[in-house]
Structure 1
Amino acid sequence: MLIHPWDAPRDDAEWQRWLAVHDFGQLVVNGVGGEPPHVQPLHFTYDAERGEAVTHLARPNPLWPALLAAPEVVLSVVDDYVYVPGPWQADPEQPPEHGTPTSFYAAVQLRCRAHVVDDPAEKAELLNRQVGHLQPEGGSARAAVGEEPYGRLLSGIRGVRLEVTGVRAKFKYAGRRTAKVQDAIAARLAERGGPRDAAAREHLVRRRPDRGADDQG
């Protein structure tokens, strides 16, 4: 992933706040023997203090041999993406048709070392961490070994702790465009009101201190 300086996060807190509420991504695991990578969509829970993400998958999942053979993986999350028509990005002195179309998006890629969790008590603790994050309002029983309703289901899953060893994050929202162009794009996003337009506009406005000319990427 190409990350220009104007698209980089201001600090770790920026991408960590975003990741805390964008908890569905793709786990990418190298294939065995030259096979293509496994790409597994999943919910996860990221813990900034522990420097890890946790998740779980069904025991029959075909990625386990690859994960055990090559535990260096990538957890990729992309959201708040929109298409920006070329005329929206034209400078005021340019004809609208000379503007360059582009995509806006937020992305975080966590490089991780995966640790498979098979101990029943550890799996229960991992599940409770996930449920506590995904269902903070409660309404679900806690997992415990040998106890209903989830104890009997623990044998059918394997847990994964993803120890974060590196982070690449990007917020591509007209960071090098002029203030006038940024204002025009923000107004167009508000007017269009499509899926994710409000979130993209919020990023653009929030990151307004960056100024410049072109943002290819």
Structure 2
Amino acid sequence: MHIPLPDRTLGESEWRPFVEGQGFGHLVAAGLGRDVPVVVPTQFVLEDDHVYLHLAAPNPIFGALAEQPRVVLSVAGDWAFIPSAWKAIDDEDPMLGIPTTYYAAVQLEGVATVASEPAAVAAVLRRQLESLQPEVPVADPELAHPARLRSIRAIVIGVDDVRAKFKYGGNVDERHRSAVIERLAARAGPGVVPLPTAPPRGSATRYRRTAPRTRALASSAHLRDRRVTGPAPFRGVLPLPFSALKSASPVLGNPANHRRAVPLTYEQFRYAFANAVTEEEAKELYATFAVPGSGVPLFQAATANLNPWTQAKVKSKDPERGPLLIIDGEKDNTVPWAIANASFKKQKRNPGVTEIVKIPDRGHSLVIDHGWRVVADTTLSFVRRFAQP
């Protein structure tokens, strides 16, 4: 895998949360003297420097492993196609933009050990089940399904080399990169959190830290009614509570993060997003939605009142804006009420309807946690009052 300098990661602190969050990849075994390697899609668990997985005994990969135990586990995700026109800004010809694809990819290389003994297979199964469904007690596979254990083989890979690539426009300047981020937000692609239509359990939607930072206030020709949840501060919004600084510190604490995708530890995610839910739900949200996200929007928001050319500005008096609803969680640490209310006061200068709602006992995860329906119902009620036919 070719990894140019702008696509290199921060190291284990960045690639490990991505791999653990994906939990699914392709195991590649070259064997000896084969025309092509054996490639098997599989779930897995990464713990420390070992990967654990299981496959059915007839799987052809075991023949290749017997010939040569060295393997590669390839994990990729969070991809988004970037059209030509998205790479053009100002007077640049949209037909001359260079299309590309943003994605993250990690390759774990190491030596695989195969186990067929029931106790060893059961131990790997327990590891996987405890990771995939921690809320369900794991029955002893040796007692519950002794016959099936004999048809399964466990694989443990000792990882000794890692290649990681996070291709998110690090090779272009900030203005072009910001233009792509804004267009991804408008398309509801990687980088935003769309309003859920179902509870988040098992959802394939991946939560990126850039989500509320990308402005949902962009003009829209076909939709005049807008809802902003946990709005990021823009130019003219002055309050900066301690909790907001603490939430942003994993990104803003290192100026080099301006051009990087930054992961959050569970503790950081718990404080910034999942502080108003139970520990059990917080862990589920972290496992389901937390992936490294671009530091660009946070740096833009943090410097909005210092940079006269900032991207983080809003035409609050635009007569074409239409009705606007701002929703904030009472316990939101990332966008506390002081920021949301200051945004509301700026937006209230608009001739259109501007309203704000504080949802009790909710944090920044309010659109993806168990109470998502309250946000949905509040939004739908607003839209029904002002939607144009």
TM bracket (short chain): 0.7 to 0.9
- 1:164, 1:67 → 2: CA distance? 15
**Which of the pair has the greater relative contact order for Cα pairs under 8 Å at 6+ separation?**
1
AA partner of residue 152 (structure 1): A
Structure showing greater Rg: 2
- 2:90, 2:108 → 1: CA distance? 39
Residues 208, 193 of structure 1: CA spacing in aligned structure 2 closer, same or farther, 3 A cutoff? Answer: farther
- 2:15, 2:168 → 1: CA distance? 14
Q: Which moved more, 1:29-38 or 1:113-122?
A: 29-38
Structure 1 partner of 2:100: 102
* Equivalent in 178, 197, 200 of residue 173 of structure 2: 178
Aligned-residue offset at 1:210 = 2.3
Question: Runs of at least 4 residues of structure 1 off by over 3 A?
Answer: 196-208
- 1:69, 1:154 → 2: CA distance? 24
AA partner of residue 95 (structure 2): E
Aligned-residue offset at 1:99 = 1.2
Unaligned runs of 5+ in 2: 193-205, 214-250, 261-389
1:164 equivalent in alignment to 2:159: yes
Deviations 1:121-145 (A, max 9, x none): 11111110011111111154232x3
Q: How many residues align?
A: 205
Aligned-residue offset at 1:88 = 1.0
* Equivalent in 185, 191, 205 of residue 186 of structure 2: 191
Structure 2 partner of 1:17: 17
Structure 2 partner of 1:89: 87
- Work out the percentage of aligned pairs sharing the same amino acid: 37
Deviations 1:168-195 (A, max 9, x none): 001000012111111111110010124x
Aligned-residue offset at 1:85 = 0.4
AA partner of residue 163 (structure 1): G
Unaligned runs of 5+ in 1: 212-217
Residues 123, 53 of structure 1: CA spacing in aligned structure 2 closer, same or farther, 3 A cutoff? Answer: same
Aligned-residue offset at 1:152 = 2.5
Secondary structure at 1:34's aligned position in 2? Answer: coil
> Is the 2:126–2:138 Cα contact (8 Å) retained in structure 1?
no
TM-score normalised per structure 1? 0.86
* Equivalent in 256, 259, 268 of residue 210 of structure 1: 259
Deviations 1:40-79 (A, max 9, x none): 000000012xx01010110111221111111111000110
* Equivalent in 55, 59, 62 of residue 60 of structure 2: 62
> Is the 2:82–2:99 Cα contact (8 Å) retained in structure 1?
yes
1:114 equivalent in alignment to 2:141: no
- 2:178, 2:209 → 1: CA distance? 12
- 2:10, 2:115 → 1: CA distance? 34
- 1:18, 1:192 → 2: CA distance? 23
Aligned residue runs from structure 1 range 134-173, under 5 A:
134-143=132-141, 145=142, 147-148=143-144, 150-173=145-168
- 2:98, 2:37 → 1: CA distance? 33
Deviations 1:74-93 (A, max 9, x none): 00011001100012112545
- 1:21, 1:53 → 2: CA distance? 14
> Is the 1:26–1:41 Cα contact (8 Å) retained in structure 2?
yes
> Is the 1:6–1:176 Cα contact (8 Å) retained in structure 2?
yes
Give the strand-richer structure, 1 or 2: 1
> Is the 1:45–1:129 Cα contact (8 Å) retained in structure 2?
yes
